[in-house]
Amino acid sequence: MPATAEPCVFVIFGGTGDLATRKLLPALYELHAQGVTASGCIVLGVARDPGMDDVRFRALAREALGDGHDPDAVARWAESSLHYQPVGEAKREDYESLCARIEALEREHELPGNRVFYLALPPRAFDDAVRCLGAVGLTRSAGWTRVVVEKPFGRDLASARALNDLLHEHFRERQIYRIDHYLGKETVQNLLVFRFANAMFETLWNREHIESVEITVAESLGVEERAGYYDKAGALRDMVQSHLTQLLALVAMEVPVAFEADAIRAEKIKALRSIAPIRPTDVVFGQYGRGTIDGTPVPGYREEDDVPAGSATETFVAIRLEIENWRWQGVPFFLRTGKRMARRLTEIEVKFRRAPVWMFRTVCEDVFRSNSLLLTLQPDEGFSLFFDVKRPGEPFHIKRLPLHFSYAGAFGKLPEAYRTLIHDVLTGNQTLFVHADETEAAWALYTPLLERRGAEPLHEYAAGTWGPEEADHFTGETPRAAT
Ligand code: BG6
C-alpha cells in the first residue's frame, strides 16, 4: 500500500497547460482513487486565463482524464476537489488574491495549512513566480510548504546557480522538489535495487570487470509542437544534462549507506563530481534531416513548424566521458540521445571484460565476445544478460543468447512516473528528486560544451536512423537492442 498523504492544498501553476492536463491531473486523480489523498487534497489550478473558472477547469480535467476512468467517479472528484484561480505573470495583486483564495479553501475544507506549489511553468516564468510567492508570504504557513520545480532547471551553470539561490531565499532545500521525471520511472528506480540488492552484480560493477557502459535514450518523435522551447535548448540541455546524467549517476554511484534521500543524493553528487572535463573530440552533435519513420516520410528538423530555417540546434548528442575514481578509472561511459531516431528506446548496456584467453580458437571460428548486461528502461522494460552457449551438435559452434527478465511478464502495467513522483511530494519523500548540488554538478560538466557548441560540426542524420555515422564510429556500435 502506498503511504497516505497529509491533507493539503495542491496548487498547480500552469494549471491549464499541457503538463497539467496530460500528467498532473490524471496522477492526482489516481492518487485520490487509490485513497492516498483520502484525508483531503484540494487542487487549485492557477493560470493566466481570466476566462477560466472552477466549472470550466473541472470540465478540462474530466476531458483530460479521458476514457480510461469511471466518468462518475471522476466527476465527483472534480466537483469536490478542483478549483481555479486566474493569476497574471508577476502581478502582486493577483498573488494576494491567490493567498486569500488558498486561505479560504483551507478554512472551508478544514485543512491545516499544508501547501504544495507545483511550478509547471515555462522556465522564463519561474523567477517571477517564486519571487511573488515570497512577496505575499505564501512561502510560510501554519503547516508545511513544498515547491515542485519542473525541468529544465536553468540553461547553464550560472542560471542554475541563480535559480538555486532564489529558491533558497524563500525555501529550505528540504522543501524543494526538483523534478526529473526519469527518476519516477520504475525501471530507473530498479537500477538501485538491481545494483544493491543483488550482490553478484555489485561485485562485478567496477573497472576490473567492466569494459564500457553505454546509455542510450532514443526517441522516434521529432520536435512536435515544442520548437519554441526546443530550438533554444537542444538535446544537450533538454536530455543529457537531466535524464541521461541521472541514469549515469545511478549506474556509477557508490553504495549509499541507506535507502534514504540524503544518502542516495550524496553518492550521486560524488559520482557527478568525479567526471573528468569532457574533451571536444569526445562529443558528436547531430541534427535530423528528412527521413522515414515506420514507413512514413517525415520532414527534417529545419522544416518543422516554428524552427528557424538555418537553425544550428542539435537534436542528437553522443558523448564519451570518464569517471575519475577508484571504481571507474579508465572505463569509458558513452551517452547517446536523439530525436527522430529509428525507434523509441532507452537502454543501458554494460559490457563486461572478455575472458583473458579464447581457448575455443582451435575448434571454431566464432569470435571472442564479452558478456553484456542490457537494462531496457523503455519500452520493453526488463533486462537481458547475454552469454555464450554451445549450439547442440556438430560442428562445434558457440551461440550468444540472453537470459531475459520482462517487467510486463512479471508485473503487468507499470505505474506512470508522475503518479510516483507526486505521491512522494505529498508524503515528503525527496529520494527521487534532484538536489541543488546535483543540478550544479551536471551544469558544470556541460556548460563548457554549450559554450563551444557553435564551433563544433553539426552532422546531419536521416530521420529514422540511429544518428550520424560519426557517432557510430565513436561509440562503437548502434544500440544493442537495435541489432
Ligand atoms: C522531456 C524532454 O523531459 O523528456 C522531451 O523535454 C522528451 O524532449 C521527453 O521527449 C522524453 O520523456 P520520455 O518519458 O518519453 O522518455
Of the candidates 33, 444, 73, 46, the residue with the CA atom closest to the CA atom of residue 278: 444
Answer yes or no: are the C-beta atoms of 303 and 288 closer than 8 Å. Answer: no
Nearest CA to ligand 1 atom 2: 238
Answer yes or no: are the C-beta atoms of 43 and 81 closer than 8 Å. Answer: yes
Whole-angstrom distance, CA of residue 309 vs CA of residue 307: 6
Answer yes or no: are the C-beta atoms of 220 and 227 closer than 8 Å. Answer: no
How is the chain split among helix, strand and coil, in percent rounded to 5? Answer: 45, 25, 35
Whole-angstrom distance, CA of residue 407 vs CA of residue 349: 17
Structure confidence at residue 174 (pLDDT):
96
Q: Any idea which residue has 546535483 for its cell?
A: 438
DSSP code string of 13-37: ETTTSHHIIIIIHHHHHHHHHTTTT
Q: Which atom of ligand 1 is nearest to the CA of 229?
A: 6
Residues contacting residue 417 through CB under 8 Å, at least 6 positions apart: 181, 182, 183, 184, 185
- Provide the grid cell at 469: 555515422
Q: Is 416 in the pocket of ligand 1 (CB under 6 A)?
A: no
Query: Averaged over 213-231, what is the pLDDT?
Result: 95
Q: Which atom of ligand 1 is nearest to the CA of 221?
A: 10
| 185-210 pLDDT tens trace | 999 999 999 999 999 988 999 999 99
Nearest CA to ligand 1 atom 8: 238
Q: Is 179 helix (H, G, I), strand (E, B) or coil?
A: coil
Answer yes or no: are the C-beta atoms of 5 and 45 closer than 8 Å. Answer: no
Indicate the range of 27-31, 79-83, 279-283 predicted with least confidence: 279-283
Ligand 1 centre to CA of 136 (Å) is 34
Sign of CA dihedral 218, 220, 226, 227: positive
Whole-angstrom distance, CA of residue 228 vs CA of residue 170: 30
Structure confidence at residue 221 (pLDDT):
96
Ligand 1 centre to CA of 238 (Å) is 8
Query: Averaged over 273-300, what is the pLDDT?
Result: 96
Beta bridge mates, 283: 319
Residues contacting residue 1 through CB under 8 Å, at least 6 positions apart: none
Tell me the percentage of the chain whose pLDDT exceeds 70. Answer: 97
Q: In the β-sheet with 382-391, what is the strand arrangement from edge to edge?
A: 397-406, 382-391, 372-378, 345-352, 210-218, 332-338, 316-322, 283-289, 458-462
Structure confidence at residue 476 (pLDDT):
58
Structure confidence at residue 2 (pLDDT):
65
How far from the centroid of its chain's Cα atoms is residue 210's Cα?
Answer: 26
Main-chain dihedrals φ then ψ at residue 194, nearest 5 degrees: -55, -50
Q: Is 455 helix (H, G, I), strand (E, B) or coil?
A: helix
Structure confidence at residue 84 (pLDDT):
98
| Cα 481-321-474 angle, rounded to 5 deg | 55
CA dihedral defined by 222, 225, 228, 229, rounded to 10 degrees?
-70
Whole-angstrom distance, CA of residue 411 vs CA of residue 409: 6
Q: Is 238 in the pocket of ligand 1 (CB under 6 A)?
A: yes
Whole-angstrom distance, CA of residue 469 vs CA of residue 289: 13
Of the candidates 35, 123, 136, the residue with the CA atom closest to the CA atom of residue 85: 136
Q: Is the pLDDT reported for residue 397 higher than 70?
A: yes
Ligand 1 centre to CA of 39 (Å) is 33
Would you tell me how many other CB atoms lie within 10 Å of the CB of residue 306?
12
Structure confidence at residue 477 (pLDDT):
59
Would you tell me how many other CB atoms lie within 10 Å of the CB of residue 358?
12
Beta bridge mates, 336: 216, 318
Structure confidence at residue 478 (pLDDT):
56
Nearest CA to ligand 1 atom 6: 238
Q: Is 267 in the pocket of ligand 1 (CB under 6 A)?
A: no
This prediction's pTM = 0.94
HSE, side-chain direction, 13 A CA sphere, residue 223: 29
Structure confidence at residue 308 (pLDDT):
96
Q: Which atom of ligand 1 is nearest to the CA of 180?
A: 3
Q: Which atom of ligand 1 is nearest to the CA of 243?
A: 3
Q: Is the pLDDT reported for residue 399 higher than 70?
A: yes
243 is catalytic: yes
| 132-172 pLDDT tens trace | 999 999 999 899 999 999 998 999 999 999 999 999 999 99
Q: What is the DSSP letter of 363?
A: T
Answer yes or no: are the C-beta atoms of 213 and 334 closer than 8 Å. Answer: yes
Ligand 1 centre to CA of 18 (Å) is 13
| 38-54 pLDDT tens trace | 999 999 999 999 899 99
User: Which of the following is catalytic: 32, 170, 243, 423?
Assistant: 243
Band (pLDDT 50/70/90 cuts) for residue 25 is very high
Residues contacting residue 159 through CB under 8 Å, at least 6 positions apart: none
Beta bridge mates, 212: 351
Measured N-to-C along each axis, helices 157-170 and 126-135 cross at an angle, to the nearest 10 degrees, of 20
Count of residues making up the chain = 483
| 161-182 pLDDT tens trace | 999 999 999 999 999 999 999 9
